[in-house]
Structure 1
Amino acid sequence: MTERLYRDIGEQIKADLAQQELAPGCKLPTERAYAERFGTSRTVVREAFIMLEIEGWIEVRQGSGIYLRQRPGSPVSPQRVPDEDIGPFELLQARQVLESSIAACAAQTVTKQDIQQMQEMLDLEDTMMASVEVSEDADRRFHLLIARSTQNSLLLEMCTQLWDRRDRSPMWQTLHKRIMDLSYRANWLEDHRAILNQLRKRDAQGARQAMWQHLENVKTTLFALSDTDDPNFDGYLFSNLRAQ
Structure 2
Amino acid sequence: MNPQNDGRKLYQKVVAAISTAIQSGTYKPGQRLPPERDLAEEFEVSRPTVREAMIALDIMGLVEARHGSGIYVTNRRPEGAVAAAAQDLDIGAFELTEARRLFEGEAAALAATTITDEELAELDVILADMAEENVKNVSGEKADRRFHVAIAKSTRNSAITLVVETLWDVRDKSPLCRTMLERSREVGVRPLIDDHRDIVEALRTRDPRKARAAMHHHLGTVIENLLTATELEALQRAQMEVAAKRNEFARRAAI
Task: Using structure 1 for the length normalisation, give the TM-score.
Answer: 0.84
Q: Does 1:218 align with 2:197?
A: no
Q: Which structure has the highest helix share of the two?
A: 2
Counterpart amino acid of residue 135 in structure 2? A
User: Relative to structure 1, is the Cα distance of residues 196 and 77 closer, same or farther in structure 2, using a 3 angstrom cutoff?
Assistant: closer
Which of 42, 45, 53 pairs up with 1:40?
45
Q: Residue 112 of structure 1 corresponds to which residue in structure 2?
A: 117
Query: CA offset at residue 130 of structure 1?
Result: 2.4
* Structure 2 residues without counterparts, runs of 5 or longer: 1-5, 238-255
Q: Does 1:49 align with 2:48?
A: no
Q: Residue 103 of structure 2 corresponds to which residue in structure 1?
A: 98
- Is the CA contact 1:15–1:72 (under 8 Å) kept in the aligned structure 2? no
Query: CA offset at residue 23 of structure 1?
Result: 4.8
Query: CA offset at residue 93 of structure 1?
Result: 0.9
Query: CA offset at residue 221 of structure 1?
Result: 1.1
Counterpart amino acid of residue 115 in structure 1? L
Q: Does 1:149 align with 2:131?
A: no
Which of 156, 163, 171 pairs up with 1:166?
171
Q: Does 1:60 align with 2:60?
A: no
Runs of 4+ in 1 over 6 A off after TM superposition: 74-79
Q: Say which one has the larger Rg.
A: 2
Query: CA offset at residue 21 of structure 1?
Result: 6.0
**Alpha-carbon deviations, 1:203-226, whole Å to 9, x = none?**
111000000010000001101221
Q: Residue 206 of structure 2 corresponds to which residue in structure 1?
A: 202
**Alpha-carbon deviations, 1:162-185, whole Å to 9, x = none?**
000000111112213433322x42
Which of 173, 178, 181 pairs up with 2:183?
178
Q: Secondary structure at the match of 1:233?
A: helix
Query: CA offset at residue 148 of structure 1?
Result: 0.6
Question: d(CA) in 2 for partners of 1:112 and 1:177?
Answer: 35
Aligned length: 231
Q: Secondary structure at the match of 1:70?
A: coil
- Is the CA contact 2:93–2:171 (under 8 Å) kept in the aligned structure 1? yes
Q: Secondary structure at the match of 1:91?
A: helix
Query: CA offset at residue 113 of structure 1?
Result: 1.3
Task: Using structure 2 for the length normalisation, give the TM-score.
Answer: 0.81
Aligned-residue identity in percent: 37
- Is the CA contact 2:89–2:175 (under 8 Å) kept in the aligned structure 1? no
Which of 190, 193, 196 pairs up with 1:192?
196
Q: Residue 240 of structure 1 corresponds to which residue in structure 2?
A: none
